[in-house]
């Protein structure tokens, strides 16, 4: 009989911590910011909440100069091994106190990661402990550094804009393919909702890849050493190490995910999505205590 | 470089019956080797690391698997774990120690190997380490007769305040005797 024990359990930051960003580049390509809360995070117990943002800032510029093209609230329960990802559509029309209404994705440029954290907290009712922000080139490099990802797609599609052909089922993707898959939207029947679900498939694939490499001697240590130089963060090397080690022990069978719904509308001539605030709060209440989705994001 | 730590990693035999030969095999030394390091880590630091992590693992093995049988108090094995990891380990005590062989007459180690990967920060100070272990034991007497069992996987350590502590583990336990 063979039995497996896992004590520390976590999520997606693996891409950031175990990928190998180029530390020589000057613009911030990858940022991990601790959000001011009254909660202490020791990366060993309790739940850590990470808001993962994909910035649309052009290559070579600071990721904070873009909008949050991808938004995922990720929770990891260190005690139980459960993990959850809640996708937030970028076009949700939300109010920022003192600034009025705007698409939620505009908050990155106007108020930085902290404002994005506040917007998601107001919507879902769960306060992120950290915000991880990456841009296009940083994401591509990170995927290439951990190796090709095996990504499951729920449908076959082609996206000429991304020069991408995806088949239904499993697809092997390098960094460029993965970035195209993450950005593809027009070819998807439900647009941003499907795209957000694809981000969660990328997350699963990355975690699967990390698990596959966890036993390679020095894999975690080399990744964290590179991250110490290449990642813009206030976390100590010891905390980064704890977090990265925890990522490699995530049990994928305990990862649940869904994407928040929204109702299409038009504001100032632009298409937006009106959030279902009640449902969003219900999802937040569902996941807050155990980082597990019991009811999903459907009404 | 591999270091064999000079600890008596063989069980005593408190009340073995005449039909059960005492565990007289030579003590098995814990072999610890630093396999790789990320960051600038000198030879002296590597040797010190082998000793320090070796001490942590030795204490864990002695308190968790060896000693005089029948025995109790396996939870002492987690003295070198961080608080949260110790609490988690206490829940997994049957998998992380020989507690299920508490009524045996002896438990001895037949293989104790650990390969270390370490991390230093950009100043060269050691921050963390992974110990990839292969531990094999043999329990005698009690309810199970002679029973080999083994442990494979990783123990994750950080150095805080100059002391190394286990903050996580990801290990597989094999009580079938088929570890290899």
Distance from CA of B42 to the nearest CA of A (A): 16
Question: Would the pLDDT of A86 be above 80?
Answer: yes
Give the span between the Cα atoms of A221 and A215, in whole angstroms. Answer: 12
One-character DSSP codes across B97-120 = SSGGGTTSSEEEEEEEEEEEEEEE
Chain B CB within 8 Å of residue A40 CB: no
Q: Which residues 236-265 in chain A show a CB within 8 A of chain B?
A: 237-238, 241-242, 245-246, 248-249
How is residue A105 annotated by DSSP?
Answer: G
* A-chain residues near B168 (CB < 8 A): 7-8, 44, 242, 245-246, 249
Question: What are the pLDDT digits (tens) for A144-178?
Answer: 878 899 999 999 999 888 889 999 999 999 999 99
Give the span between the Cα atoms of A79 and A283, in whole angstroms. Answer: 21
The per-residue pLDDT for B158 is 94
- Are A2 and B176 within 8 A, CB to CB? yes
Task: Pick B172's closest partner by Cβ from A3, A43, A224.
Answer: A3
Chain A residue with Cα closest to B156: A245
The per-residue pLDDT for A146 is 83
Distance from CA of B120 to the nearest CA of A (A): 7
Task: Pick B39's closest partner by Cβ from A2, A7, A225.
Answer: A225
Of A168, A193, A185, nearest in space to A262 by CA: A193
* B-chain residues near A4 (CB < 8 A): 170-173
Question: What are the pLDDT digits (tens) for B80-127?
Answer: 999 888 998 999 999 999 999 999 999 999 999 999 999 999 889 999
Give the span between the Cα atoms of A271 and A185, in whole angstroms. Answer: 15
Give the span between the Cα atoms of A108 and A62, in whole angstroms. Answer: 11
Q: Which helix (H) or strand (E) holds A204?
A: helix A192-213
Chain B CB within 8 Å of residue A215 CB: yes
Distance from CA of A1 to the nearest CA of B (A): 6
Mean of pLDDT values over A76-84: 82
pLDDT band, residue A12 (cuts 50/70/90)? very low
For chains A and B, CB pairs below 8 A equal 120
């Amino acid at each position: 009989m063979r039995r497996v024990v896992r004590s520390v359990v976590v999520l997606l930051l693996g891409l950031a911590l175990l990928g190998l960003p180029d530390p020589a580049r000057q613009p911030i390509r990858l940022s991990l910011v601790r959000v001011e809360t009254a909660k202490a995070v020791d990366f060993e117990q309790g739940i850590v909440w990470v808001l993962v943002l994909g910035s649309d800032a052009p290559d070579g510029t600071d990721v904070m100069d873009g909008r949050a093209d991808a938004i995922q609230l990720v929770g990891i329960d260190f005690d139980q091994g459960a993990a959850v990802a809640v996708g937030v559509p970028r076009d949700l029309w939300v109010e920022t106190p003192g600034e009025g209404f705007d698409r939620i994705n505009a908050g990155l440029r106007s108020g930085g990661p902290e404002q994005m954290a506040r917007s998601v907290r107001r919507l879902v009712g769960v306060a992120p402990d950290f915000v991880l922000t990456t841009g296009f080139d940083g994401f591509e490099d990170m995927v290439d550094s951990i190796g090709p990802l095996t990504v499951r797609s729920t449908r076959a599609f082609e996206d000429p804009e991304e020069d991408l052909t995806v088949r239904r089922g499993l697809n092997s993707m390098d960094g460029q393919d993965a970035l195209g898959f993450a950005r593809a939207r027009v070819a998807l029947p439900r647009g941003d909702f499907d795209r957000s679900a694809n981000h969660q498939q990328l997350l699963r694939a990355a975690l699967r890849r990390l698990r596959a490499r966890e036993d390679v001697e020095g894999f975690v240590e080399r990744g964290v050493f590179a991250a110490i130089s290449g990642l813009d963060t206030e976390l100590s090397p010891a905390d980064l190490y704890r977090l990265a080690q925890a990522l490699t022990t995530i049990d994928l069978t305990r990862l649940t995910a869904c994407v928040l719904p929204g109702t299409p509308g038009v504001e100032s001539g632009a298409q937006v999505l009106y959030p279902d605030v009640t449902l969003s709060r219900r999802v937040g209440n569902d996941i807050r205590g155990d980082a597990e989705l019991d009811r999903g994001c459907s009404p | 470089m591999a270091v064999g730590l000079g600890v008596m990693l063989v069980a005593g035999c408190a009340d073995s019956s005449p039909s059960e030969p005492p565990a007289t095999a030579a003590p098995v030394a814990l072999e610890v080797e630093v396999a790789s390091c990320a960051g600038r880590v000198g030879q002296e630091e590597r040797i010190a690391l082998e000793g320090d992590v070796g001490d942590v693992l030795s204490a864990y093995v002695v308190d968790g698997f060896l000693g005089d049988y029948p025995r109790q108090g396996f939870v002492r094995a987690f003295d070198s774990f961080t608080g949260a990891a110790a609490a988690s380990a206490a829940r997994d005590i049957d998998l992380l120690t020989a507690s299920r062989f508490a009524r045996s007459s002896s438990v001895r180690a037949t293989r104790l190997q650990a390969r270390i990967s370490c991390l230093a920060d950009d100043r060269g100070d050691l921050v963390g380490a992974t110990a990839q272990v292969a531990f094999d034991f043999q329990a005698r007497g009690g309810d199970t007769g002679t029973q080999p069992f083994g442990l494979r996987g990783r123990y994750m350590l950080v150095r805080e305040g100059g002391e190394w502590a286990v903050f996580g583990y990801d290990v597989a336990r094999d009580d079938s005797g088929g570890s290899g």
